[in-house]
A and B are shown apart, each in its own frame.
Chain A
Amino acid sequence: MHDLSHAFSLALQLAASGDPGLWQIVGLSLQVTLSAVAISTLLGLPVGALLALGRFPGRNALIVIFNAAMGLPPVVVGLVVYLLLSRSGPLGEFGILFTPKAMVIAQSILVFPIVTALSRQVIEDLWAEYSEQLRSLGSNAAKSIGTLLWDGRFSLVTVVLAGFGRAAAEVGAIIIVGGNIDGFTRTMTTAIALETSKGDLALALGLGFVLLMIVVLVNGAAWIARRAGERLAGA
């Protein structure tokens, strides 16, 4: 218990210190994670909607694949992306291994199936309720998808937050493709892994608490936005 309380007070000191090194790491973590979540959302919502509403051969197989891909092992994804981006790999010429871009790519691969699979479920449930009414009101496919995304927005925010949680907590993939380079690709989670390996468990835990605080802040902001939105738009 003493270790934990020590780590917690260390976390508060870290957060209060305004240490530029820490904020640089926090900033990069958010940048990488939010970029990956944004990309996954932009791709995952339309694909989720397509899977929810579309009727085509192989649809059920795709749904199963996306559901399963929510559990992709980060280390495996990291390794595959590493081999793809390596100078000796097929995408080596772009030279983005060991850069934040590589980390965004790896995390997008992890988050995209989560956003797709969960939004597919949300949209499919809503479609079951809405489909006849929307057709009666003359809504075509494109307008219906827009309607479902908009009317499902509060559930979909939760979907996106699930993706954010996965990305924010992830270390296995980004440490491989980012290289955990000090001041360049070091994020909260890779810094925690590093401090653990240096035996500085208190600092590692302290950083962990700081990460938790950030995740709570992001979720809190989303919650407030959701409540305000519900009150204004009425859901």
Chain B
Amino acid sequence: MRLLRLALAFTAILAVTVPASAQDKSIIVASTTSTENSGLFKYLLPIFKEKTGIDVKVVALGTGQALDVGRRGDADVVFVHAKPLEEKFVADGEGVARYEVMYNDFVVIGPKSDPAKIAGSKDVLEAFKKIAAAKASFISRGDKSGTHVAELKYWKEADIDPETGKGSWYKEIGQGMGAALNTASSSNSYVLSDRGTWISFKNRGDLKIVVEGDKRLFNQYGVMLVNPVKHPNVKKELGQTFIDWLVSPEGQKAIANYKIDGEQLFFPNATGKPST
């Protein structure tokens, strides 16, 4: 009984002392699965902390969700990739200003057997048309992420309504990039991915890049401070310090230096000034 009481008391104390924040100098950044899964933050954040002593806690979600977390005031900084949504976020007064940070590109991934015969193409719209025409299996994120938003844009520009393919060749899974790639890998489907996630993705099976290099596949990342006027809890100095560092020459160099197997994942292109 005494032992039991001791154990109970001990765990109760643990519950009370679980650190609310490891340090006071910390911010929460709502970001996307693509940046988290690619390992970029694991590389960048220690460098940033070394310099400023600020702990950056990254919550990785789809772009839509990440913006929503910002809108609710649950993050200090939002770091995502869906320009129209980001601009709306700032226009609505949810974010203070949008800074462009870096880009990578989207690639169309498909099975080596390539049933839509698009491998080697540099025209993403043509490729999407062929996929639809061949009714070749296609996995869509379906989660309002930046990648999903881009994908829908390509369908629209290709003048195809993927809704008509629902239930047959077009499959919305409503999950993150990794889950979409896992699904594509196990069902030999086409899927749109950001290059960073693809490079660090390990369960490729028979998948390979089939379309790349189209200018339209350009994928811009932007970062915004959540509006401290709307949400007084936002740590504006610390958050702005992070944003300033990301767009500074030093931060830009760090982004360029992040490589997997010698391959650069993200290309810095900050102007250092708010974009809108």
Are A and B associated in one complex? yes
| Residues in A neighbouring B175, C-beta threshold 8 A | 197
A16 to B205 alpha-carbon distance, docked (Å): 29
B203 CB to nearest chain A CB (Å): 3
Assess A197 versus B178: contact at CB under 8 Å? Given A42-B8, A98-B28, A98-B74.
yes
Q: Does A181 contact B (CB under 8 A)?
A: yes
A41 to B3 alpha-carbon distance, docked (Å): 15
User: Are A86 and B72 in touch, CB under 8 angstroms?
Assistant: yes
User: Are B18 and A200 in touch, CB under 8 angstroms?
Assistant: no
| Residues in B neighbouring A88, C-beta threshold 8 A | 72-74
Q: Mark B1-26, 1 if CB is under 8 A from A, else 0.
A: 10110001001101100111110000
Q: How many chain-A residues does the 8 Å CB contact rule pick out?
A: 41
Assess A98 versus B185: contact at CB under 8 Å? Given A87-B74, A199-B204.
no
Which of A29-37, A49-57, A109-117, A208-216 forms part of the interface with chain B? A29-37
| Residues in A neighbouring B233, C-beta threshold 8 A | 87, 92, 95
A108 CB to nearest chain B CB (Å): 9
Assess A196 versus B8: contact at CB under 8 Å? Given A92-B73, A98-B57.
no
| Residues in B neighbouring A86, C-beta threshold 8 A | 72-74
User: Are A38 and B74 in touch, CB under 8 angstroms?
Assistant: no
A 117-168 contacts with B by CB, 8 A: 150, 153
User: Are B202 and A199 in touch, CB under 8 angstroms?
Assistant: yes
Assess A31 versus B58: contact at CB under 8 Å? Given A37-B11, A38-B12, A199-B201.
no
| Residues in A neighbouring B204, C-beta threshold 8 A | 199
User: Are B57 and A181 in touch, CB under 8 angstroms?
Assistant: yes
User: Are A196 and B18 in touch, CB under 8 angstroms?
Assistant: no
Q: Mark B212-240, 1 if CB is under 8 A from A, else 0.
A: 00000000000000000001010000000
Q: Mark A167-195, 1 if CB is under 8 A from B, else 0.
A: 00000000000011111110000000010
Partner of B182, one of A39, A150, A197: A197
Q: Does B33 contact A (CB under 8 A)?
A: yes
A150 to B4 alpha-carbon distance, docked (Å): 11
A residues lining the B interface (CB < 8 Å): 31-32, 34-39, 41-42, 86-89, 92, 95-101, 104, 150, 153, 179-185, 194, 196-202, 225
